[in-house]
């Protein structure tokens, strides 16, 4: 028994030394365009889902997630903060989404983990939006100034998103208070001022100068 334990310990130490040597040598490719092997990806995904489920277990979603006002407010924040990575109705992909690893889920599709679901799915969405996911590009929006009510508004919108057409989506965003992640207390005039400022910036010469060509064509940011 003693020899077995010593052998197991020696194997563990040797494995740790080999792994450390490979990491020190830079053998582990961290490039975003060199994805993990499928088995590694599945292991990371499993560990992530277990971690989120444990931490979201005590979250009780509000009863009014179907409220039209919540959904409308969430639409403005989704369009400003989430659409580039998680897409909108009618969009097949985006530049930033193609360049991220792991690729962000398409939340327009129900299998992207948006859609109706139950309370556990709602709690899961809330937790992820608030706390983010390490090493995925998913920010902790709670740290960025988004209060819990605004996060629940976004959660309400995510439940409705897969059932929206492109026209439905545009109408909801147009009717929303826009980018209002500071919370419900942010004055409407302030939000309108931000939108006007953004529109002015989009038309300025300085912004136009930021255009850059791509092999597949050119576009201005």
At 197 the pLDDT is 44
pLDDT digits (tens, 9 = 90+) for 117-157: 788 999 999 999 999 999 899 999 999 999 999 999 999 99
Other beta carbons less than 10 A from residue 74's beta carbon: 27
State the average pLDDT over residues 10-19. 89
Element (H, E) at 153: helix 148-160
At 112 the pLDDT is 66
pLDDT digits (tens, 9 = 90+) for 73-123: 999 999 999 999 999 999 999 999 999 989 999 999 987 667 667 889 999
At 77 the pLDDT is 96
CA distance 154 to 169: 14
pLDDT digits (tens, 9 = 90+) for 202-214: 344 334 444 455 5
Phi and psi (nearest 5°) for 44?
A: -65, -45
* 218: CB partners within 8 A, 6+ apart: 211, 212
DSSP state of 37: P
**Structure-derived torsion over alpha carbons of residues 158, 163, 166, 170, reported in degrees to the nearest 10:** -50
Element (H, E) at 43: helix 38-56
Enter the tokens of residue 128.
């992820």
């Amino acid at each position: 028994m003693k020899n077995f334990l010593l052998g197991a310990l020696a194997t563990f130490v040797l494995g740790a030394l080999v792994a450390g040597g490979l990491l020190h040598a830079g053998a582990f490719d961290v490039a975003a365009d060199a994805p993990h092997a499928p088995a590694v990806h599945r292991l990371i995904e499993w560990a992530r889902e277990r971690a989120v489920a444990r931490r979201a277990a005590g979250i009780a979603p509000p009863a009014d997630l179907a409220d039209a006002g919540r959904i409308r407010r969430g639409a403005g924040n989704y369009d400003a903060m989430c659409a580039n990575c998680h897409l909108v109705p009618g969009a097949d992909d985006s530049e930033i989404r193609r360049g991220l690893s792991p690729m962000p889920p398409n939340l327009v599709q129900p299998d992207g983990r948006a859609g109706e679901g139950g309370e556990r799915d709602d709690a899961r969405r809330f937790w992820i939006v608030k706390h983010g996911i390490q090493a995925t590009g998913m920010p902790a929006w709670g740290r960025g100034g988004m209060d819990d009510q605004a996060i629940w508004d976004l959660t309400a919108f995510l439940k409705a998103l897969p059932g929206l057409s492109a026209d439905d989506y545009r109408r909801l965003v147009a009717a929303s208070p826009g980018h209002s992640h500071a919370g419900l207390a942010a004055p409407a005039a302030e939000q309108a001022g931000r939108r006007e400022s953004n529109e002015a910036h989009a038309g300025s010469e300085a912004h136009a100068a930021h255009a850059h060509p791509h092999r597949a064509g050119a576009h201005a940011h």
